[in-house]
Amino acid sequence: MFDFSVVTTWINNLLIGCMPGWAAVLVECIIIALCVLGAYTVLALFYILYERKLCAWFQCRLGPMRVGYWGLLQVFADMFKILIKELIPLKGTDKFLFKLAPYVIITSSVTMLACLPWGRGMQIINYNIGIFFILAVSSVGILGILLAGWASNNKYTLIGAMRSGAQMVSYELSLGLAIITMVVFAGTMNIEEIVWAQDGGWFIFTGHIPAIIACIIYVIAATAETNRGPFDLPEAEHELTAGYHTEYSGIHFGFFYLAEYLNLFIVSGIASLMFLGGWMPFHVNGWDGFNAVMDYIPGIVWFVAKAFFFSFVIIWFKWTFPRVRIDQMLALEWKYLMPLALANLVLMAVCTTLGWHF
């Protein structure tokens, strides 16, 4: 498997060779920032097309077909359109908070994106409590949504933000518990080590029944966490217009749109690294030839493919299930998912301590 740290070490040595240490660090930080920005934009553009095409196919339509071959340039046209739309100044809004909200949301999603491991040695922020850091940053995003809803001086946005806040904080519990379950199994919170722990087999295969239950809980909680699918009641268009971002126009609205798609990728990415082994290729014990072929596929392809698979499942939910009511949503979390996640955690702890796993 190709180790990307060869490239980063080479760049590092090259820079240190021709400039003082602090300047090298500065240049490296700028390169990293540009890479993150590029990944962010490409993913956002891809996800808009991905969702629109999938949505169309689920409904037996073709989706965007006119702009460019097979509608491929549609997202660029949308992006440009959103940039040239007017930013409408509104009466009675809390101007500072109104403008702060997109910064908070985008910053939290960019920081989470920088924590994901794209391949061997292709990880930017690598704390030893990596997964905990991601969860902590993801809860900052909720603040942005609450700010947006509160500052807009509109009752729709206020209700949307409150629903969103209640939903996201509730589902963060079972999301966290599902992740703790896998942390118990992996024995570490460092993302890179979690991926390395799946060298012999992905956690969903080696982790026995608790890993499968944790995966199902995680996918449901992640759907709610990204305000999507059957849990999109903060944006229920027939009752709240567009929820917390009703009052935002032009590129301001675009930021919420971007962050929503990026959060979809990030939760799928976390799912792929916790359950499907991140950038680890698929191996079957004993099939040496097959394993060698799998090793040729680069890690970044494995990671992105797994993340896209989870995104597909979450988008599939959206077009399959009808929207839930708020009491049903809260009951699902507090009365079913969270007790189940706690019981599953205990089960996993027992299995791990007593060594009952494959």
Partner 1 sequence: MNLLLGISNGDLAITAVLTGIGLVFAALLIARFISPRSFSVKKSEPYECGIPTRGESMLQFKVGYYLFAILFLVFDVETVFLYPWAVICRSLGPDGLLAIAVFMFILILGLAYAWRKGALKWQ
Chain residues 14-53 in contact with partner 1, contact rule CB under 8 A: 21, 25, 28-29, 32-33, 36-37, 40
Based on CB atoms, which residue is closest to partner 1, 21 or 286? Answer: 21
Nearer to partner 1, 52 or 357 (CB): 357
- State which of positions 210-229 bind partner 1 (CB under 8 A): none
Q: How far apart are CA 168 and CA 19, in angstroms?
A: 47
Q: Could you tell me the smallest distance in angstroms from the CB atom of residue 208 to partner 1?
A: 14
| CB 330, min distance to partner 1, A | 5
- CB contact at 8 A, 334 and 171: no
**C-beta of residue 275 within 8 angstroms of C-beta of residue 306:** no
Using CB under 8 A, pick the residue from 71, 117, 119, 165 that binds partner 1.
Answer: 165
CA distances from 203 to 1, 84, 151, 194 (A): 19, 47, 43, 9
> Interaction with partner 1 in 312-331: which residues (CB under 8 A)?
326-327, 330-331
Smallest gap from Cβ 65 to partner 1, in A, equals: 27
Tell me: does residue 200 bind partner 1 (CB under 8 A): no
Token pair of 120, please? 């061997």
Q: Tell which one of 202, 255, 261, 279 touches partner 1 (CB under 8 A).
A: 255
**Shorter beta-carbon distance to partner 1: residue 53 or 231:** 231
**Would you count residue 183 as binding partner 1 (CB under 8 A)?**
yes
Name the segment binding partner 1 (CB under 8 A); options: 79-87, 198-206, 207-215, 218-226.
79-87
Measured from the CB of residue 209, what is the shortest distance to partner 1 in angstroms?
17
Cα 119 to Cα 59, 146, 212: the distances in Å are: 35, 34, 24
* 111-130 binders of partner 1 (CB under 8 A): 111, 113-114, 121, 123-127, 129
Residues 265-304 that bind partner 1 (CB under 8 A): none
- Binding of residue 65 to partner 1 (CB under 8 A): no
For 241, the 3-state DSSP assignment is: coil
1, 56, 173, 297: residue in contact with partner 1 (rule CB under 8 A):
173
Q: Which is nearer to partner 1, 4 or 302 (CB)?
A: 4
Q: What's the Rg (C-alpha) of the chain?
A: 21
- Name the minimum Å distance from CB 110 to partner 1: 4
- Judged by CB under 8 A, the residue of 12, 212, 236, 313 near partner 1 is 12
To partner 1, the closest distance from the beta carbon of 147 in angstroms equals 12
- Burial string for 228-264 (b: 16+ CB within 10 Å, else e) reads bbbbbbbbbeeebebbbbbbbbebbbbbbbbbbbbbb
How far apart, in whole angstroms, are the C-alpha atoms of residue 67 and residue 75? 9
The 3-state DSSP class for residue 299 equals helix
- Cα distances (Å, whole numbers) of residue 94 to 90, 147, 151: 9, 10, 5
Pick left, alpha or beta for residue 324 (phi over 0 → left; psi -120 to 50 → alpha; otherwise beta): beta
Q: What are the distances in angstroms from CA 259 to CA 25, 141, 154, 162, 354? A: 28, 9, 22, 18, 42
| Selected binder of partner 1 within 17, 18, 86, 238 (CB under 8 A) | 86
Nearer to partner 1, 61 or 325 (CB): 325
Smallest separation, CB 133 to partner 1 (Å): 8
